[in-house]
């Protein structure tokens, strides 16, 4: 069952600026933020065109610039930050740890931040936002919009750490198995690790610049502590991008090792086939000559001729095999 109404509203909270928060509805949202130290947070689900009237509220009732409102409901965007005179637009991505979510799924959440209001639009539900709302319900609320963004950014980054650490551990396990496991069993795993690393880095790398850019916002509601936390989140994102580069490169090295092993196995098989060919080709020629149905074949009238030829062929084959094995350094 959807957790949003027919207009896309997921949740709305009002903060008193003293560390307390309370849920509100459409009536309070349309009245606008109350003057004072507090602020509002209005959180929406991105709906398909024609499914709801959320875009109409953003465009006509919220007072947000139409260009910014269009950016908040765009179909596909990368993480970025744009600073304006009266606020800031921030687009972030988060890894979803909800049940039935894939590890490479990074869903977008967009924010419009003003001194007394935060409006956000999500693509899918995010576990980081759900945990943030649980903290609000327990009485742990941010005091300013800057603290709000810093707290939520750190929660998004924490989820990335969990997935990227698991991905690095998968790469460690593959490096240990590449010399012992069957190549056919590892090919799919190596390809999956490399694919996930590439997809995650596509969105994680730009997020660093978005957080750093947002920390430069010259606003009273963004304290030095909030800036430091945003820079810390950006530094962690930088480390994640480097870790993903490392996982991608390690996956490529593992794949090269698998190719080398496969080529080595093929060369060994070809060498064995060549040895068998060298040993049996002369014997096949000799036995073919002895098997012709023409007169004058030596030993055709000798009762022990067959066994004599068999022993001679066996001895010749063993001798040639011994010479080839010694040449190949197998013995």
Q: What is the pTM of this model?
A: 0.73
CB burial of residue 210 (10 Å; 0-12, 13-18, 19+): buried
3-class SS of residue 95? strand
The residues, ordered by sequence, that sit 6+ positions from 77 with a Cβ below 8 Å of its Cβ are 71, 91, 108, 110
Instruction: Provide mean pLDDT across the span 318-324.
Output: 74
As given in the structure block, the two tokens for residue 279 are 């040993």
Average pLDDT over residues 199-222: 85
126 compared with 281, residue with greater pLDDT: 126
Does 4 score more than 90 pLDDT?
no
Whether the CB-CB separation of 122 and 197 falls below 8 Å is answered with no
Would the CA dihedral through 50, 52, 55, 60 be positive or negative?
positive
Per-residue model confidence as pLDDT tens digits over 136-183: 888 888 988 999 999 999 988 888 888 888 888 888 888 777 766 565
Instruction: Map tokens 């055709």 to a residue.
Output: 300
Of residues 72, 109, 88, the one with CA closest to residue 214: 88
Summarised one tens digit per residue, pLDDT across range 108-147 is 899 999 888 999 998 888 888 888 989 888 888 898 899 9
Cα within 13 Å of Cα(15), Cβ side: 26
Please tell me which residue, 71 or 75, carries the higher pLDDT value.
71
pLDDT tier at 294, thresholds 50, 70, 90:
low
**Span 234-251, mean pLDDT?**
89
Residue 52 has a pLDDT of 47
Q: Which domains are delineated in the chain?
A: 9-259 (3.30.460.20)
Residues β-bridged to residue 103: none
Residue 302 reports pLDDT greater than 80: no
CA angle, residues 41, 136, 10, in degrees to nearest 5? 45
pLDDT at 119: 92
Grade residue 254 by pLDDT with cuts at 50, 70 and 90. Answer: confident
DSSP string for 102-139: -TT-EEEEEEEEETTEEEEEESS--HHHHHHHHHHHTT
The answer to whether 73 touches 122, Cβ cutoff 8 Å, is no
């Amino acid at each position: 069952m959807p957790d949003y109404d027919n207009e896309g509203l997921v949740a709305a909270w009002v903060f008193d600026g003293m560390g307390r928060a309370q849920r509100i509805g459409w009536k309070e949202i349309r009245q606008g933020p109350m003057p004072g130290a507090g602020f509002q947070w209005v959180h929406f689900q991105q709906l398909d065109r024609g499914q709801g009237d959320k875009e109409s509220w953003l465009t006509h009732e919220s007072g947000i610039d139409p260009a910014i409102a269009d950016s908040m409901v765009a179909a596909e965007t990368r993480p970025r930050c744009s600073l304006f005179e009266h606020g800031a637009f921030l687009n972030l991505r988060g890894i979803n740890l909800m049940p039935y979510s894939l590890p490479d799924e990074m869903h977008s959440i967009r924010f419009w931040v003003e001194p007394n209001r935060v409006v956000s639009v999500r693509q899918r539900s995010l576990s980081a936002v759900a945990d943030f709302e649980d903290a609000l319900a327990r009485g742990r609320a941010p005091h300013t919009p800057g603290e709000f963004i810093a707290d939520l950014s750190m929660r998004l980054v924490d989820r990335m750490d969990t997935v990227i650490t698991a991905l690095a551990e998968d790469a460690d396990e593959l490096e240990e198995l590449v010399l012992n496991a069957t190549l056919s069993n590892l090919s799919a795993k190596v390809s999956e690790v490399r694919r996930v690393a590439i997809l995650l880095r596509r969105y994680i790398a730009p997020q660093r610049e978005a957080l750093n850019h947002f920390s430069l916002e010259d606003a009273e509601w963004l304290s030095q502590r909030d800036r430091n936390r945003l820079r810390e989140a950006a530094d962690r994102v930088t480390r994640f991008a480097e870790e993903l580069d490392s996982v991608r490169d390690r996956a490529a090295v593992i794949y090269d090792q698998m190719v080398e092993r496969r080529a080595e196995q093929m060369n060994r098989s070809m060498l064995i086939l060549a040895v068998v060919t060298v040993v049996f080709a002369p014997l096949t020629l000799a036995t073919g000559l002895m098997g012709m149905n023409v007169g004058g074949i030596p030993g055709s009238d000798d009762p022990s001729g067959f066994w004599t030829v068999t022993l001679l062929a066996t001895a010749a084959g063993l001798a040639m095999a011994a010479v080839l094995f010694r040449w190949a350094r197998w013995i």
